[in-house]
Structure formats: C-alpha cells, structure tokens
Amino acid sequence: MIWNIVWITALAGMGGTGMGGWISCLFRKDSGKTVSLLLSFAAGVMTSVVCFDLLTEALHPEQMDTNVWLVVLGVLAGYVVIAALNAWIDRNTNHEVAHIDENHPRTADSLEELTHANHLQEHREGRQPRSGLFLAGLVMAAAIALHNVPEGMVIGASFARTAGQAQLNRGGLTMAVVIGLHNIPEGMAVAVPLISGEMPKWRAVLVTALTGFPTVLGAILGFTVGAMGPVALALSLSFASGAMLYVVFGELLPESILMWRSKLPAAATIIGMLTGLVIIYL
C-alpha cells in the first residue's frame, strides 16, 4: 500500500507543480479567470473533505471516541505550522515588490502579481538585473518545497485510515487530486521568475516539478504516524485538517477572489463542496 501512496503523492506533488511550470511557459494574461475558478473549485472540494471526512474520522478513529479537545489541539497545530511556513515564504519573497516604487501594492490583485510577472517590465527596461528574478525564483522554489511537506502529510494521514487494508480509500485519493490542483499556481509562482531570469524553459519546468518531491516525504511521515494507533490517527487527521483549513481560507479563496472579482468563484466553491460531498458519500 505504501508504494501506491508514494506514486499517487508524487503525481499530486510533482505533477501539480510541474504542470504549473509548463503552463507558465504558455503564460497568458487572461488566464487569471481560469485559475481563479480552478482554485475556488479546489477550495470547495477541500472544505468538504475536511468537514465531512477528515474531522469526522478524527473524532471517531477506528470506531472509538476521541476527546474533542485533542482534535481541536491538532487542528490548531496544523493551522499554525502552515501559517508560519507561509509567513516565512512571504518574508523571503516580498523583496521583489519593493524595488518598483513605494506605492506598489503589497497584496496579490492579479495572476501577474501572484507570479511576479508584473515585475518583468522593470527588468526588461534595464532598471533591475535579471539575476534578481532568477534568485527570487530559487528562493520561491526552496520555500514551496518546504511548504509541500505538511501538504504531503495530509495525503498520508488520509490514507492511514485504511492502513490495514489493501484498498486505498477515496478520501485519500480525493485529497491527492485537490493537492495536485492547489500545486498548479504554486508551480507557476516558481517557474515564471526562473524563466524570466533566462533559465531554459525545460530546466525551469524540471526544477519546478522537483519542488513537489517533499510532498512524498510528507505523505510517508503522515501515513506512518497515522498508522500507529487510534490516538495517533486522530492527531494526524486533525493536523491535516488544520493545515488544509489554512490553505483554503488563507490561500485558495483569497487568491481566487483577488484574481477575479466576480460572483463566479463563489459559485465554483459551492460546486466544489457539493462535488466533494458526492465523492465522500456516494
């Protein structure tokens, strides 16, 4: 079973970021709307999986009751870890914003802003060296790689519920798909500055895909911890839930709304939630 989890997680982690890198090679300015809907849909599916699957199982692992405060503690731990990692990423990549002017917006208001593509004109006009974008891409790659470890733990913890069975559960497969969708814009954020820094496109896509490899390590860790017993499984699922709640409400939904100020992202989120509900209970 563990090898199935490894290749599924590799497909979600490396495949998702690699796809984002490939899309960045064909970057279109009007693609923000498409990515916005994609992120909103993924957020909806992820919310359903967390609320109707992960947390439910965390409260009753292996047909046993868990102290609700233990679940609350696990959720808070997962949220804090992911929030801290994202704060570190922001602190080490926001230097790209300051070099334009003091009035430049510090929040993402378009796909170009999210991927630093709106800074390219400054570099093309010679006011900043391309090496600056290349360095920003490397920093982003390292940050995203670190960020992918707890995301992999989410997938591993989801699969740990059926550790003693040969068949993989649908919840784990669903989470792998959602993580893969979530990794596409992250891959774009890595590849755009690398390509703009004159790295060959094929190499930039390869580096971007490799940033998803730590997802596999996280999945192995999450599965191992979750398979240790009911309490460990409850903590692992709770941690995974907290991590995913931050990803949904701290990343996916804000980014989707900022990319496209429309009512359609909200509709995509609802459709995603209903899709997740059908997948879980059908």
Across the chain, mean pLDDT equals 78
Q: State mean pLDDT over 13-33.
A: 76
Separation of alpha carbons 48 and 24, rounded Å: 29
Q: Is 7 a residue whose pLDDT tops 80?
A: yes
* Angle (deg, nearest 10), helices 68-93 and 130-160: 170
Say if CB 241 and CB 78 are below 8 A apart.
yes
**pLDDT at residue number 273:** 93
Distance between terminal CA atoms of the chain? 23
Q: Say what the pLDDT of residue 117 is.
A: 47
Q: Got the DSSP string for the chain? A: -HHHHHHHHHHHHHHHHHHHHHHHHT--GGGHHHHHHHHHHHHHHHHHHIIIIIHHHHHSGGG----HHHHHHHHHHHHHHHHHHHHHHHHHHTHHHHTT-TTS-SS--SHHHHTTGGGHHHHHTTSS-HHHHHHHHHHHHHHHHHHHHHHHHHHHHHHHTTTTSSSPPHHHHHHHHHHHHHHHHHHHHHHHHHHHTT--HHHHHHHHHHTTTHHHHHHHHHHHHHTT-HHHHHHHHHHHHHHHHHIIIIIIHHHHHHH--SSHHHHHHHHHHHHHHHHHH-
Q: Which of 134, 111, 142 is nearest to 212 (CA)?
A: 142
Closest alpha carbon to 195 in 186, 206, 185: 206
**What does the pLDDT average to over 83-106?**
60
Instruction: Kindly report, residue by residue over 200-215, the tens digit of the pLDDT.
Output: 888 888 999 999 999 9
Question: So what's the pLDDT on residue 85?
Answer: 80
Task: Give the pLDDT mean for 120-128.
Answer: 48
pLDDT of 270 = 95
- Asked whether residue 108 carries a pLDDT value surpassing 50, the answer given is no
Highest-scoring range by mean pLDDT, 19-28, 36-45, 186-195:
36-45
What pLDDT, on a 0 to 100 scale, did the predictor assign at position 166? 61
Q: What is the pLDDT of residue 133?
A: 57
Q: Is the pTM of this model over 0.85?
A: no
Q: Residue 71 has what pLDDT?
A: 92
Stretch 257-266: mean pLDDT, rounded?
85
Q: Which residue has the higher pLDDT, 132 or 92?
A: 92
**pLDDT greater at residue 193 or residue 41:** 41
Q: What is the pLDDT of residue 216?
A: 93
Of 131-135, 153-157, 207-211, minimum mean pLDDT range: 131-135
Q: Is residue 98's pLDDT more than 50? A: no
Residues 172, 55: Cα–Cα separation, whole Å: 13
